[in-house]
Amino acid sequence: NAGVTQTPKFQVLKTGQSMTLQCAQDMNHEYMSWYRQDPGMGLRLIHYSVGAGITDQGEVPNGYNVSRSTTEDFPLRLLSAAPSQTSVYFCASSYLGTGGFDEQFFGPGTRLTVL
């Protein structure tokens, strides 16, 4: 299994540009999520999905869109990049457990710089 993969690893954008961060998992996980991590801080949830066709907002959704057309893929779209979106972006996936929240598997991250 490849686990959770993210592309690209690095990206530089100019203010106002749009782009899509790709995330894929091959573990047949129902739950997928996107986090951003700013320097020296914890991870903040942007959007999440509990299955194909179902998405919802997290803690910091403004400026980002997501869709979940398949179980495997969960792309994150930046609509009009701003310098405040400079961050490291992590995608994660997990099963939806019957008890506690199941173990989340994280991708390697995408380091985004907006000039």
Partner 1 sequence: LAKTTQPISMDSYEGQEVNITCSHNNIATNDYITWYQQFPSQGPRFIIQGYKTKVTNEVASLFIPADRKSSTLSLPRVSLSDTAVYYCLVGGSNDYKLSFGAGTTVTVRA
Helix (H) or strand (E) holding 19: strand 19-25
* Binding-site member from 31, 34, 64, 74 for partner 1 (CB under 8 A): 31
Q: Which two tokens stand for residue 54?
A: 């179902």
The interface with partner 1 within residues 67-96 (CB under 8 A) comprises 90, 92, 96
Q: Can residue 99 be called a binding residue for partner 1 (CB under 8 A)? A: yes
Cα(18)–Cα(14) distance, integer angstroms: 9
Q: Can residue 35 be called a binding residue for partner 1 (CB under 8 A)? A: yes
Q: Which two tokens stand for residue 43?
A: 């991870």
Q: Which two tokens stand for residue 110?
A: 């995408």
Q: Which residue number, 13 or 109, has a Cβ lying nearer to partner 1? A: 109
* Binding-site member from 1, 10, 14, 98 for partner 1 (CB under 8 A): 98
Cα(108)–Cα(88) distance, integer angstroms: 10
CB of 81 to partner 1, least distance (A): 22
Q: Can residue 109 be called a binding residue for partner 1 (CB under 8 A)? A: yes
